[in-house]
Every structure is written in C-alpha cells, then in structure tokens.
Amino acid sequence: MSKANKSNKAIKYRLYPNDEQKVMFAKTFGCCRFVYNQLLALQKQRYKDGESHLSKLKSNEFATRTLKKDYDFLKEIDKFAVSNAVFHLADAYDRFFKKQNHFPKFKSKRKSKKSYTTNFTNNNILIGKNVIKLPKVGMVKAVIHKLPKDDWKLKSVTVSQDGVGNYFASVLFEYEQEDIPSVSKSSTNAIGLDYKSDGLYMDSNGNKAGVHKYYRESHKKLAKEQRRLSRKAGSKKNETKSSNYFKQMRKVNRIYRKIANQRLDSLHKKSTEIANQYDIVCVEDLDMKAIGNKGFGNGKAT
C-alpha cells in the first residue's frame, strides 16, 4: 500500500468514566498543560539568552529525562500523553515560523481546552462492545455508535472534556483510500451555490435556501443565564471564583453547545441532500469568518 493512497479518519465516541477515571483524566489534562507551559517557558528563556531553539526531539528528551525526574507526578500518567504535549508545542512553533498562526501562548487551567493524545502500541488501546480501553485508565464505558472497518489501522486517541463536563474519545484510524469514480465533465446533473446574505445560499436554478435562526431563538435565554453568570463572577478581577460561578458557567455552555449542535445537524442534512442529488457541485469561495465579523451585521444570522 503506497503512502499516497493512505488517508486518516477519526470516529468520536462519548465516554462515561467513573469517579476514579475522571480523576485520572483530570491529572492527565493538568500534566499535559504543565509540560506544555514548562517547555514554552524554556524556549522563551533560551531565546532571551541567545541560545538556539530546541528541536522537537530535544524537547521530548528534556520532558522525559529532566521534567519527569524533577516532578514525580508526571510518572503517574500515560507517557505518550506527555510526548504529544511536547509535539503540540513544536507544531505550534512550526505554524508560527511559517506565519500561519500567532506566537504560542501559555495554557490556562480554566480557559484552555482539556484534552490529551495517546498513541496505539502493543494493544494498549481497544474498542469493545460498550467500552474503550485506554492506557493508565483501563476500560471506560462508552457509546460505540460506529465501528471501524476490519482493514482500518488504529493510530491514536484524543481524550477531551467539553465546557459542560462531558468526556469524548476521538479515535484516529488509517486506511487505504479507494479511488473515487470520476464524473464526466459533460454531465448536466450539476448545480452552483452562491452566498446569500439573507439565507444560506442561492443556487444556479434560482432557488434560495433559507436558514433556521437557532441563535436568535435561544438569545433571550442565553442573555438571562449570562447575566446570572456575570453577577456570580465577583467585583474584583483576580477574585477566586465560587463553585456557583462554575455551575452557572456550565449552564451557559450547555446553551452554546445546543446551538452549535443544531447548526451542525442542519448543515449536515442540507449538504447530504445536495451530494446525493447532484454529480457536480460548484461553491463560491468566500472567507465566511471575515464576512461574519466585519460590519456585515449577520454574525448572529443563524
């Protein structure tokens, strides 16, 4: 199998860890954040001292030999999670040097995404009927809604926790990509889609697709919960937040998650409908992020 024919695909599963497993996940999230911040501080200090930038391999050696020796709690978690935290920082630096992203920032305990990645080796990761086996965690209850094909090769797993408190495992597989049958250029079963500011799109047949305004439907409820969150935040900027503040934050996050899921579900149904109906689909290339945030007034359209 040539490398050119290989492709990757991830399947995301919902996890239901027990209390002991939740503690291990929290430790792993924290340790990965700690290693990332330690390496970032080291790289910045080396730059100030006029020393060369540590490579990805040198950074990993520092994490496994120096940090683990100085901080015993790093030995409690999966070793691949530590290495991948180092590699994530190296990738962030690569994107910065290529002018694809801003300079890497320190990860925050409260605001940064809670996740870690572990690699597959010696059957340390397994997908069962209703469980997923993870290194250092064991069998975790999961909703296995979709199974990979027999010839798919398991590569890695990324465990994450969202703002509501739910846990997920994104399992990455490698497989041989089948050749997509070509479509004749003379095919008349084609459609063009153009951006429409007061809808989703206008097609080449003159039909306008409307869009459900999920955000505006939930705006009043969201604003009410955000006001409650603001009152629980406290008057001082660096004041320690109470447990009620974080409970209220999860309520706000649930509303945001529902809106996001509604949007994704609607777009998925519409795109599937178009793909099944036409052989060729031509779409206008636009920077939708710029349109939604620079004075067009339609950032909350959906």
Mean pLDDT by 10 residues, the chain (302 residues): 74 96 96 96 94 92 93 94 95 92 91 94 93 96 93 95 94 86 73 82 84 88 93 75 88 93 92 89 77 60 59
Non-local (6+) Cβ contacts of 274 within 8 A are 191, 193, 281
Are residues 33 and 187 in contact, defined by beta-carbon separation less than 8 angstroms? Answer: no
pLDDT tens per residue across span 250-289: 999 999 999 999 999 999 999 999 989 888 888 877 776 6
Are residues 214 and 221 in contact, defined by beta-carbon separation less than 8 angstroms? Answer: no
Q: Provide the pairing of β-strand 114-119 with 280-283.
A: unpaired
pLDDT tens per residue across span 213-230: 888 899 999 999 999 999
CA distance 296 to 79: 48
Strands, sheet with 208-209, edge to edge from the N-terminal-most edge strand: 208-209, 201-203, 190-195, 280-283
pTM for this prediction = 0.82
Length of the chain: 302
Q: What residue has token string 């990757």?
A: 8
65: enclosing H helix or E strand: none
Residue 288 is predicted with a pLDDT of: 67
Residue 88 is predicted with a pLDDT of: 95
State the Cα angle at 99 between 97 and 105, rounded to 5°. 70
Q: What SS3 class is residue 164? A: coil
